[in-house]
Structure 1
Amino acid sequence: MGKITLARVDDRLIHGQVMTSWLQYTGARHILIIDDETANDEFTKTIISMAVPNGIQLDVFTIAEATSFLSENNFNDLILLVKSPLTFLQLIERGIPLKEIVVGGMGASAERKSFYKNISASENEKIVLKKLIDNGVEVRIQVIPDQKSVSVKNLL
């Protein structure tokens, strides 16, 4: 397995200035989106690929495909991008070690209530976040690199 530079939860996936600032901050040249629905939707993958800056490699995988890729390949400076913290828990349960997860975008919805500032979470997502922490993962909220991060452990 290689070096994961950033493991980020953002239900918008790749979008404008926020992702560009994380790419500049981390120096990463490869983004791996892990989301079963997105990986199986050719139209959405095409739209997402248009938002990726030139010179950045993009892969969009299902959880199963990502597990194989992360287990079997040596890579450097990889950004993992998921819509839900549950995806990271599933990767850990499949043997993929993660040390730190950054929550950057979890918007409001019918199931979600305000969790911290503009970050929302459902009761199930809070349980998942706690399980991640219980698995030794540091989970923090940080929308952009210049912003101070906040530990999720202190919010649960």
Structure 2
Amino acid sequence: MGEIVLARIDDRLIHGQVMTAWLQFTGGNHIVIVDDATAGDEFTKSIMSMAVPNGIKLSILGIADGSEVLRSVPDNEKIIILAKEPQTYLALIENGVQLDEVIIGGMGARKNRQTFYKNISASEEEKEAFRQIIAHHVKMKIHVIPDQGSQAIEGLL
């Protein structure tokens, strides 16, 4: 049976850190982006597909389809899930997707967000989603790149 090797919150979804450090660190061979807006944008999807190395499968799905795919990871697949917001992970969990851990990699400053930890920002709604994810017995931590330390977020809330 396959496995989910990384579940990461990152505003940028696919970028250099994911394609180099995290892909190598996890041994992932299938990237699943779960984001309703991205799944509905053919131009963005085509740009993202060009950023993925040969031999790595890419699926860009909305929450409903993503939940269905992720509930039964096919044999031999090591899935990296990428989403822009914690609310997406909360919806996946509530739709029956089993996750052990969600990491926060990149949540930049934007309207309604305040500094949460160093260069990570979060809105009150996002912090509430963090709490609810943790209440589902899913670990959450900030972990920007694999060779740097991580920070559990429970104490930051």
Common fold by TM > 0.5? yes
Shift of 1:97: 1.3
- Kept in 1: contact 2:17–2:145 (CA 8 A): no
Shift of 1:71: 2.4
* C-alpha distance in 2 between matches for 1:92 and 1:29: 22
Matching residue of 2:25? 25
Matching residue of 2:35? 35
Alignment gaps of 5+ in structure 1: none
Per the alignment, in what secondary structure is the counterpart of residue 68 of structure 1?
A: helix
Per the alignment, in what secondary structure is the counterpart of residue 55 of structure 1?
A: coil
* C-alpha distance in 2 between matches for 1:101 and 1:72: 18
% same residue: 56
Matching residue of 1:86? 87
Per the alignment, in what secondary structure is the counterpart of residue 44 of structure 2?
A: helix
Matching residue of 2:144? 143
Matching residue of 1:56? 56
- Kept in 2: contact 1:9–1:84 (CA 8 A): yes
Deviations 1:97-148 (A, max 9, x none): 1110010000100110110011000010000001111110100000000110
Matching residue of 1:16? 16
Per the alignment, in what secondary structure is the counterpart of residue 139 of structure 1?
A: strand
Instruction: Work out whether 1:106 is the aligned partner of 2:107.
Output: yes
* C-alpha distance in 2 between matches for 1:142 and 1:5: 14
* C-alpha distance in 1 between matches for 2:4 and 2:81: 7
Matching residue of 2:123? 122
* C-alpha distance in 1 between matches for 2:26 and 2:52: 15
Per the alignment, in what secondary structure is the counterpart of residue 2 of structure 2?
A: coil
What code does the residue aligned with 2:6 have? L
Distance 1:103 1:41, change over 3 A: same
Per the alignment, in what secondary structure is the counterpart of residue 131 of structure 2?
A: helix
Shift of 1:72: 4.1
- Kept in 1: contact 2:35–2:84 (CA 8 A): yes
Deviations 1:50-96 (A, max 9, x none): 11122211010011111111224424211000000100000111111
User: Mean alpha-carbon deviation: is it higher for 45-54 or for 16-25?
Assistant: 16-25
Shift of 1:2: 3.4
Matched length: 156
